[in-house]
């Protein structure tokens, strides 16, 4: 099949938006693992034998598409060829972004996902919707009960039961990444608190991304605006001068 790594955003002089993007992206990175049949390719660090590439006619499959990695992943999955995740090929993305750039990036990713892997888009939509209803709905319930001078012990306990396992997962995930990229340990540790605190808010961002993707298939990528008609057809709408 193929071997693949993934990206890990390392904010450089970045503010809240940059750290939120890193946490948002981290949840996708942790979906990769030992189960080769559920892994996916990331174009930034994927290796495939030339003979396999030609047998699958990937060059032909890429014609008319925007997403090279989703298309390659689909070709491998259709022929039941495994994708091996290589942690050592995790790529540090030294970058920063503004809030508007965060929304543009994350919306684009979900729009592409909706077209090329609609089952994943549906899972993101339903999963993030359920989490937001329970977690943020519970937080609002706590506030309402405080205002009414009612006991908040039970709803707070339930929120902590949801919150702490996610925080522990974020801690273990970042610790693993530090072991893989020790040369960036200082930068990664600087963002530790953001990974521990911001992870619930990425679910709200994912929900927004999924809803935006439900209403539009138009993306702007490096100065080119595309309309994603299908996994095999993308139309160029305009180019920046």
Q: 139-188, pLDDT tens digit by residue?
A: 999 999 999 999 999 999 999 999 999 999 999 999 999 999 999 999 99
* Cα gap 206→222, rounded to integer Å: 22
> At 38, is the pLDDT very low, low, confident or very high (cuts 50, 70, 90)?
confident
CA–CA separation, 148 and 174 (whole Å):
40
Per DSSP, the residues of 173-190 read HHHHHHHH-GGGHHHHHH
Q: What confidence tens digit (pLDDT) does each residue in 77-134 have?
A: 999 999 999 999 999 999 899 999 999 999 999 999 999 999 999 999 999 999 999 9
Query: Predicted confidence band at 205 (pLDDT cuts at 50, 70, 90)?
Result: very high
In this predicted structure, the answer to whether residue 241 has a pLDDT above a threshold of 80 is: no
Collapse the DSSP code of 228 into the 3-class scheme (helix H, G, I; strand E, B; otherwise coil) and give the result: strand
Q: What is the DSSP letter of 33?
A: S
- Reported in sequence order, the residue ranges of the chain that DSSP labels E, i.e. its strands, are 2-4, 7-11, 46-48, 83-85, 91-95, 218-221, 224-230, 233-239
How does residue 192 score in pLDDT terms, banded at 50, 70 and 90?
Answer: very high
Global pTM reads 0.92
**pLDDT surpasses 80 at 14:** no
**169/240 Cα distance (integer angstroms):** 41
Q: Does residue 238 or residue 37 have the better pLDDT?
A: 238
Of 4, 2, 22, 26, residue with least CA distance to 12: 22
Calculate what percentage of the chain has a pLDDT beyond 70: 100
How high is the pLDDT of residue 59? 94
Which pair of tokens denotes residue 236? 């160029």
DSSP per residue, 62-108:
HTT-S-HHHHHHHHHHHTT--EEE-GGG-EEEEE---HHHHHHHHHH
Is the pLDDT reported for residue 12 higher than 90? no
Distance CA 138, CA 174 (A): 27
Cβ(8)–Cβ(92) under 8 Å? yes
């Amino acid at each position: 099949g193929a071997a693949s790594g993934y990206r890990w955003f390392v904010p450089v002089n970045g503010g809240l938006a940059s750290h939120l993007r890193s946490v948002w992206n981290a949840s996708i990175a942790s979906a990769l693992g030992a189960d080769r049949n559920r892994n996916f390719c990331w174009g930034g660090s994927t290796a495939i034998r030339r003979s396999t590439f030609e047998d699958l006619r990937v060059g032909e499959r890429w014609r008319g598409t925007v997403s090279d990695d989703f298309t390659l992943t689909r070709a491998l999955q259709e022929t039941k060829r495994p994708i091996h995740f290589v942690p050592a090929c995790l790529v540090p993305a030294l970058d920063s972004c503004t809030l508007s750039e965060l929304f543009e990036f994350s919306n684009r990713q979900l729009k592409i996902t909706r077209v090329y892997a609609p089952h994943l888009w549906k899972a993101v939509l339903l999963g993030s919707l359920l989490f937001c209803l329970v977690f943020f709905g519970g937080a609002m319930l706590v506030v309402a009960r405080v205002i009414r001078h009612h006991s908040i012990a039970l709803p707070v306990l339930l929120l902590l039961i949801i919150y702490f396992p996610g925080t522990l997962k974020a801690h273990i995930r970042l610790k693993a990444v530090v072991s893989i990229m020790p040369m960036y340990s200082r930068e990664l540790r600087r963002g530790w608190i953001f990974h521990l605190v911001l992870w619930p808010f990425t679910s709200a961002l994912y929900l927004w991304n999924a809803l935006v993707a439900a209403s539009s298939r138009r993306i702007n990528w490096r100065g080119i605006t595309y309309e994603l008609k299908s996994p095999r057809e993308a139309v160029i709408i305009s180019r920046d001068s």
